[in-house]
Amino acid sequence: MKYIVVTGGVVSGLGKGVTISSMGRLLQACGLRVTAIKIDPYLNVDAGTMSPFEHGEVFVLNDGGETDLDLGNYERFLSLELTQDHNITTGKVYRHVILQERRGDYLGKTVQVVPHITNEIQDWIERTAKIPTSEDGEEADVCLIEVGGTVGDIESSVFLEALRQFQFRVGPENFILCFVSLVPILSDEQKTKPTQHGVKDLRSLGLSPSVIFCRCTEELLGPTRQKISDFCHVPAEHVLSVHDVKNVYQVPILLQQQNLHLILEKHLQISKMTKPDLGAWALMANAMAQWSETVQICLIGKYTGLQDSYLSVIKALRHAAIACQHKLDLQWVEATDLENDVEEAWDKVRNCQGIIVPGGFGNRGFDGKVLAAKYCRENNKPYLGVCLGFQAVVVEYCRNVLNMTGANSTEFDEKSDYPVVFFMPEIDKTTMGGNMRLGSRVTKFTHAQFDDGSTSVLKRLYKNKESIHERHRHRYEVNPEYVDQIHEGGLKLVGRDETGERMEVAELPGHPYYVGVQYHPEFKSRPLNPSPPFHGLVLAAIGKLDAYLEEETMLLGN
Ligand code: GLN
């Protein structure tokens, strides 16, 4: 196994994740299998208990792991399926070591950060790197490791010490360290000092980077490259310019142009590398820059102040727009503004081509989401509701069509006369963290055939499969007591779990596109393979859904 470790310096939010994913994508284009590990030096065991306001979205894996959003970047860019072990946190490592200590596994020894924690980190990395994560189920050739935070933080120092030891454990030909830095431009001059200091900090910890990625707004100039090379102890060709490009999909091409693959091949003594071929990826990245038509989608949420809170939803919309060869024009609306009749917010809802209401927790803004669902239902506006957005569809329909005044989710009104969405019986109310209905679960399209002979649009978008697997993260669900009434009342509950008791998909026949899903389809969307519910929303928004479905039916029929 070859290990590529990437650390960052100067400031956070440099796009380390995109840089690493792009490096992985390039290696894949050279015929290698790649896997990825993210190290987060915080004490939380996982990201599940962290507010999206503070830390961006919580990404959900197939195995139910609630992780940092960078794992989503890896899965999307590299078509991987990662596990919770691929997100190493200080909390997880210490918990593991302390449990072993309590069991008496250390046989009377004093348990210390060095060597016990540092050994555990190294064992964890070696163990996890071997887990097959690519589509063909084979072990990877190369493991990318991203160290979160910035060099010099107290928090990350134990991980950097572990990695310092690790380079000797695995040998220099199996280990390369890369550093992502910032080259700001001040008074028209590209400044190298922050990079010099970052590298100096790393070297004082016994780690010396072999490749330096320089994030900058404009391409790195020759003299800047030379200066960084002189001061940071790397050849000038190993100083790479990662300047702003038209879209993130172009970054692998940018790295290829600077021969990153050859640098890695030589340093890591990789024998089986082929000439890079980015194929369909490169075509997409270059074509996108030319598209002129846009599709305007309005996202109604509550964490709209920090767009990272909805990262996967935005990516899924983008992937769907790519499939339709449109640029995405995303408009943001605070759900509470709809409750308060803010004209500007309502204008956005009225004027856009489609609405997405993503997942969320807590009371604030829920009624605004219900109002948006009502508007879309009554005005034939394409609508996709995810998780809480699905629950809003159910509540809205019960309140306004089935005349259940005050219908609600018990998350927001425990005393509602019509608790049409309620707390799932098996969920534990006393603890937080890892205790929702999480991860990949089956949905069966058992109620997808309608009286008029037509078939559910969503089922058709999923290529007429009888069952699908999507990821979940919720505590509330449609109350089984109301299911028949809702379904017979016209809001078709077309997809259900394997017991038939848990509702997964709602759809309104006769509407251009009115769909709610209890699961989170955004987590499995890929740039070249959009998530079906999102694809449907964008197709409906540009008026191409029927044509697409007809074509698909013909293809499937043949
Ligand atoms: N708060 C809702 C629930 O727990 C929705 C969760 C979500 O949207 N992820 O069921």
Instruction: Give, for 267, the enclosing helix (H) or strand (E).
Output: helix 260-267
Tell the residue nearest (CA) to atom 9 of ligand 1. Answer: 359
Distance 471 CA to ligand 1 centre (A): 13
**What is this structure's pTM?**
0.94
The answer to whether 316 and 525 are in contact (CB under 8 A) is yes
Structure tokens at 324: 């339709």
Q: Which ligand 1 atom is at minimum distance from the Cα of 360?
A: 8
Distance CA 125, CA 119 (A): 10
Task: Identify the pLDDT of residue 351.
Answer: 97
Residue 475 Cα: closest atom of ligand 1 = 4
Give the whole-angstrom CA distance, residue 87 versus residue 67.
7
Counting as low any pLDDT under 50, the low residues of the chain are: none
Contacts of residue 211, defined as CB under 8 A and 6 or more positions apart, other chains included, come to 176, 177, 178, 179, 234, 238, 240, 260, 263
Pocket test for ligand 1, best of 300, 473, 477, 502 (most atoms within 8 A of CB): 473
Residues with catalytic annotation? Answer: 387, 520, 522
- Atom of ligand 1 lying closest to residue 476 CA: 10
With a Cβ cut-off of 6 Å, ligand 1 is lined by 359-361, 387-388, 411, 473-476
SS3 230: helix
| Backbone torsions φ then ψ of 111, nearest 5 degrees | -90, 125
The confidence score (pLDDT) of residue 125 equals: 98
- Model pLDDT, residue 425: 74
Per-residue model confidence (pLDDT) at position 328: 96
Please count the other Cβ atoms lying within 10 Å of the Cβ belonging to residue 31: 14
Q: How many CA atoms does the CB half-sphere of 486 hold within 13 Å?
A: 31
Yes or no: say if 459 and 514 are a contact pair by the CB < 8 Å rule: no
Ligand 1 atom with least separation from CA of 477: 10
pLDDT of the residue at 359: 94
What is the structure's pLDDT at 49? 85
| Distance of CA 388 from the midpoint of ligand 1 (Å) | 5
What was the pLDDT predicted at 304? 67
Whose CA is closest to atom 7 on ligand 1? Answer: 359
Q: Are 160 and 36 in contact (CB under 8 A)?
A: no
CB-CB neighbours of 232 under 10 Å: 22
What is the Å distance from ligand 1's center to 431 Cα? 16
CA of 504 to the centre of ligand 1 (A): 13
Rounded to the nearest angstrom, the distance between the alpha carbon of 87 and the centre of ligand 1 is 23
